Amino acid sequence: MTVTVAGRGMTEQAIDVLIIGAGASGAAVAWSLAETKMKIVCLEQGGFMNPGEYPATGRDWEARASSDFSISPNTRQLAADYPIAEDGSAIKVANFNAVGGGTVLYAGHFPRFHPSDFRVKSLDGVADDWPLDYNDLAPHYAENDRMMGVAGLAGDPAYPSDNAERMPPLPLGKSGEVLARGFNKLGWHWWPSDTAIATQPHDGRDKCINLGACITGCAQGAKASTDITYWPHAQRAGVELRTHCRVREITVDESGLAAGAIYYDGDGVEREVEAHVVIMACNGVGTPRILLNSKSAAHPDGLANSSGLVGRNLMFHPYASIQGIFEEELDGHRGPHKIFRSQQFYETDPADKTRDFVRGYTFEIQRGQGPVSTALTGLARGKIPWGAGHHAAFRKLHNRIAGMVAICEDLPEEHNRVTLDPDLKDSDGIPAPRISYTLSENSRRMMDHAVAKASEALRTAGAINIMTQAPIPYGGWHLMGTARMGTDPARSVVNKWGRSHDVKNLFVVDGSIFVTSAGVNPTRTIQALALYIADQMKQRLANLFD
C-alpha cells in the first residue's frame, strides 16, 4: 500500500529537489542548493548519531569496532543497514548508514586528487580521461575545505599550490618521528596528511584531543563528519532532512523523467514523494542499487541505464597493510590514526624499472593500536601464543607497532560491478546489491610493489619485524565508478555536471560518477564534485532540463 507523505491523507505538494542520501555528497549538495530557496528534501535511511554514545565513551570501545560500529554492514546488521551479497568479491564493502554516512566512521584522511588523475588516458594510455579537470574542481575543493575544516601543512611538493585554509597539522608523535626518519634516510617523499580533523576550534567544533578512536565515530566532534559540518547549516537554511526513510525506487512520469521516489519510513510504511529534480547521493553501491531497481516501461534496464553501465566499473582501492614492530615504545593507539602520507610512488615513472604496473599508490602512515587490537593482531599472526608466554609476547607488541597502508589506484573494469541479488532482500523487501569484483593483475603487482617498498621503509626506520596483509579483505571503504561521468552517452551514465544522459532531471553526486579512482581517499573529491555539480545546477536553473 502506498500512502501519501506524512500519512496526512492528502498528497504532498511536489517538492523542488529530492536528495537521496545524507552522507558526504548529499550533505554538500543540500547545503549548496539551499541558497536557491527551493524546497529541498533529503531522505536518509539512517538516523542522527549521538556522539555521546560513540564507542570512545566506554571501556568496550575497541570491541564495538567489530559489532555495532563495524565497518561491514553485514556484521553490524543495524536497522538502518541493508545486506550486501559479496561472496563473489575479493574486497568486502565498508559503509555506514546514518546522517553523515561513511564520514561517521572514516579516518578523516583527506587528500585531493592530483591534476594527472583527471588525465589518465592522455598521460598513461589506460582507462579514460575525466570530462573535467583539476582546475574545474579547485574552487570547490577550497569551499569544501572551509566547510569541513582541514588540518595540514601547505607546500607539499606532491601537489600544486592550493592556497587552502588549513589548521595546524596533527602531531607527528613518536610514531611519526621514527617513521619520518626512515623515509628521510631513503630520500623519499612524505608530508603531514591533510585531515578533516580540527586541530583548533572550528565552526563550533572542538579540537582533537587524540582519542585514537576516529574510525568508530569522534565523540569529541573534532572529526568532520557531515552530520556536524554541513547538515546543521543546511537545515538552518531550510533543507528538510527526513531520517529513517529508505528509498526503494525512483518513479518516472509518462515522458520518462524522474517524478520522485517511493520509500519506506521508519515504521515500514510505504510512502511516495514527488519531486521536480532527483539527486542520487547514496555512494557507489547504494546509487546503482536504486537505479537498477527503478525499472519502468521507459527504462526497462533500470533508470539512466541506456548505456548498460549503471553498476559497472566498480572501483574500491585495493589496500595493503604493512606494519612494523619496533623495540622502542611508540604512540600506541593515542592520537588520530593517520600521521603523514608518502606519494613517492604515486605518479607514473617509466624510468623506475622496479615498477611493473601502471599508475601508482599513496602510503598512509599510521599510529598503532589499542591493547585489544594489538592482542588480536598478535594472536592472528602467531606472534602471541595461547597460554604460557602470552604476557611476555604481548608486551613485545604493545605500543610498539606502527606502519602504513598503501592505497592503490583501482582501474575501471566493466566486469567489476553491482547488480541486484535475485534472492537477498533488506528488511523492507528491497533487493540487496550483489558485488562481483576481482583484483586485476595490475592491482596485484602494485600491491606487491607497495609491500616491498613499505617493508624497506619500515626496516630503515628500525622495525625488527614486519607484518603484511594484501589486500585487506574487509577494506572496501571507497565505492566508485558505477555511474561514471563522460561526454559520450554510450560510454557514461552522467554528463560532466552530473546530470543523467537519459533522464534530464536526474543527477548523481556521489563516488559513482568517478571515471577513475586515483590513488587517494576519495571523500574530498566526492564533496568537491557535489559542490561543483550544485554550482552548475544553480547556473542553469532557467534551462536545467534542456
Partner 1 sequence: MTTTAEAFTDAQAETLGILVNMIIPASEDLGLPGAGDERIMTDILATAARQREAVAAALAALDEISLAIGNLDFAKLGAPARDDAVAAFRRKHADGAGILATITTQCYYRDDRVMRSLNMAARPPFPLGFEVDQGDWSLLEPVRGSGPIYRETP
Tell me whether residue 236 or residue 395 sits nearer to partner 1 (CB atom).
395
Distance from the Cα of residue 116 to its chain's centroid:
21
CB atoms within 10 A of CB 135: 10
Q: Which of 358, 376, 424, 466 binds partner 1 (CB under 8 A)?
A: 376
Strands 40-43, 15-20: pairing is: parallel
CB 438 to partner 1: min, Å: 25
Q: Does 113 bind partner 1 (CB under 8 A)?
A: no
Query: Which residues 175-214 are close enough to bind partner 1 by CB under 8 A?
Result: 176-177, 180-181, 184, 187, 189-192, 208-213
Q: Which residue has the cell 613517492?
A: 344
Q: Does 57 bind partner 1 (CB under 8 A)?
A: yes
Query: Which residues 421-480 are close enough to bind partner 1 by CB under 8 A?
Result: none
Tell me whether residue 133 or residue 272 sits nearer to partner 1 (CB atom).
133
CB 427 to partner 1: min, Å: 20
CB atoms within 10 A of CB 388: 8
Task: Give Cβ neighbours of residue 427 (< 8 Å, ≥ 6 apart).
Answer: 79, 82, 268
* DSSP class of 382: T
Q: Which of 173, 284, 498, 519 binds partner 1 (CB under 8 A)?
A: 173
C-alpha cell at 55: 564507542
Q: Does 249 bind partner 1 (CB under 8 A)?
A: no
Count the site residues for partner 1 by CB under 8 A: 69
Continuous segment of H or E residues that includes residue 28 = helix 24-34
Taking CB under 8 A as the binding criterion, the range among 49-57, 227-235, 287-295, 413-421 that sits at the site for partner 1 is 49-57
Q: Which of 2, 59, 87, 382 binds partner 1 (CB under 8 A)?
A: 59
CA–CA distance, 109 with 524 (Å, rounded to integer)? 9
CA–CA distance, 515 with 526 (Å, rounded to integer)? 12
Task: Give the chain's end-to-end CA distance (angstroms, integer).
Answer: 35
Q: Does 359 bind partner 1 (CB under 8 A)?
A: no
E-assigned strands of 178-302?
Answer: 191-192, 240-242, 246-252, 258-264, 270-280
Best CA proximity match to 170, nearest among 191, 187, 144:
191
CB 85 to partner 1: min, Å: 21
Q: Which of 375, 406, 480, 537 binds partner 1 (CB under 8 A)?
A: 375
Residue pair 500/493 in contact by the 8 Å Cβ criterion: yes
Strands 240-242, 40-43: pairing is: parallel
Q: Which of 29, 31, 62, 442 binds partner 1 (CB under 8 A)?
A: 62
C-alpha cell at 13: 505538494
CB 399 to partner 1: min, Å: 8
Tell me whether residue 82 or residue 340 sits nearer to partner 1 (CB atom).
340
CB atoms within 10 A of CB 29: 32
Q: Does 352 bind partner 1 (CB under 8 A)?
A: no
Amino acid at 395: R
Tell me whether residue 218 or residue 241 sits nearer to partner 1 (CB atom).
218
Strands 270-280, 15-20: pairing is: parallel
CB 381 to partner 1: min, Å: 13
CA–CA distance, 537 with 535 (Å, rounded to integer)? 5
Q: Where are the alpha helices (DSSP H) in 422-494?
A: 441-461
Tell me whether residue 192 or residue 288 sits nearer to partner 1 (CB atom).
192
Q: Where are the alpha helices (DSSP H) in 230-311?
A: 230-236, 283-292
CA–CA distance, 439 with 441 (Å, rounded to integer)? 7
Tell me whether residue 344 or residue 525 sits nearer to partner 1 (CB atom).
344
Q: Does 383 bind partner 1 (CB under 8 A)?
A: no
Taking CB under 8 A as the binding criterion, the range among 242-250, 292-300, 305-313, 373-381 that sits at the site for partner 1 is 373-381
Query: Which residues 150-169 are close enough to bind partner 1 by CB under 8 A?
Result: 153, 155, 157-160
Q: Which of 81, 331, 364, 413 binds partner 1 (CB under 8 A)?
A: 331
CB 32 to partner 1: min, Å: 26
CA–CA distance, 191 with 169 (Å, rounded to integer)? 10
User: What mask of x and - would describe binding to partner 1 in positions 116 to 135, judged by CB under 8 A?
Assistant: x-xx--xx---------xx-
Q: Does 219 bind partner 1 (CB under 8 A)?
A: yes
**Could you give the dihedral angle defined by the CA atoms of residues 515, 520, 523 and 525, in that order, rounded to the nearest 10 degrees?**
-50
Tell me whether residue 129 or residue 535 sits nearer to partner 1 (CB atom).
129
CB 51 to partner 1: min, Å: 9
Tell me whether residue 63 or residue 142 sits nearer to partner 1 (CB atom).
63
CB 372 to partner 1: min, Å: 5
CB 395 to partner 1: min, Å: 8
Tell me whether residue 353 or residue 391 sits nearer to partner 1 (CB atom).
391
Q: Which residue has the cell 587552502?
A: 164
Q: Which of 39, 295, 381, 398 binds partner 1 (CB under 8 A)?
A: 398
Q: Coil, helix or strand for 280?
A: strand
Q: Does 371 bind partner 1 (CB under 8 A)?
A: yes
Beta partners for residue 242, in sequence order: 43
Q: Which of 132, 372, 424, 466 binds partner 1 (CB under 8 A)?
A: 372
Residue pair 497/537 in contact by the 8 Å Cβ criterion: yes
Q: Which of 4, 16, 75, 115 binds partner 1 (CB under 8 A)?
A: 115
Going from the C-alpha of 415 to that of each of 313, 412, 439, the distances in angstroms are 7, 9, 11
- How big is the CA angle at 31 (ends 76 and 292), to the nearest 5 degrees? 50
Per CB under 8 A, residues contacting partner 1 are: 54, 56-63, 66-67, 114-116, 118-119, 122-123, 133-134, 153, 155, 157-160, 171-174, 176-177, 180-181, 184, 187, 189-192, 208-213, 219-220, 331, 334-335, 343-344, 346-348, 370-372, 375-376, 379, 386-388, 390-391, 395, 398
